[in-house]
Chain A
Amino acid sequence: DTAVSQTPKYLVTQMGNDKSIKCEQNLGHDTMYWYKQDSKKFLKIMFSYNNKELIINETVPNRFSPKSPDKAHLNLHINSLELGDSAVYFCASSYAGAANEKLFFGSGTQLSVL
């Protein structure tokens, strides 16, 4: 069983479109994250939710809206896609207060905006 699964794995779309990426974890964790990895492999946190509550909201355009219907799911909706949004987006999960805990990552969604 996949611990952190995200769909789709690849997403190719036109500028201006709206798209969503879904993430689910079956580890019983109460905290979930979205990270963005650019073409140079640099990884930056975007959002974090703990028990469906937004905890971390880094400087991200408000075209990006995370939604957590329950603590096992964290989806990412992106409005009005731009060329610069092309990247690999990773979902991750852990236990709360996890400064010492490891994060479990999904296999990523490669978003290409044309």
Chain B
Amino acid sequence: GNSVTQMEGPVTLSEEAFLTINCTYTATGYPSLFWYVQYPGEGLQLLLKATKADDKGSNKGFEATYRKETTSFHLEKGSVQVSDSAVYFCAQGGTSYGKLTFGQGTILTVHP
């Protein structure tokens, strides 16, 4: 079945450090891929997405590239801020009705 695996957390960084959160997926076909972010006390919100191989999604300084050959969708940001502290979820789209399969989430804490 479809699955999404994220790098284990938690991740702790200093402000302005480089961030990578790894995500790999297994699926039949070529699903859409997403990164969602959950700030403390809030629901998830879409951060970025890519719908086909080699697409790059980007938003708020975050980027992720859909790599078909490595079945990966790693999240990167060149310089993190304290306000980026949150839980990050990688997800893949389902066959219908928006059934997303989520990874286990990675807790990111950024210190000043």
Contact = CB atoms under 8 A, between A and B. Distances in A.
A97 B97 contact: yes
Interface residues of A, number: 30
A25 to B, nearest CB: 12
A90 B97 contact: no
B98 interface: yes
A87 interface: no
Interface string A14-53: 0000000000000000010100000011111100101000
B contact face: mostly helix, strand, loop, or mixed: loop
B21 to A, nearest CB: 13
B49 interface: yes
A101 B100 CA distance: 10
A101 B32 CA distance: 9
A48 B99 contact: yes
Contact of B46 (A31, A41, A43, A102): A102
Nearest to B94: A99
A14 B90 CA distance: 34
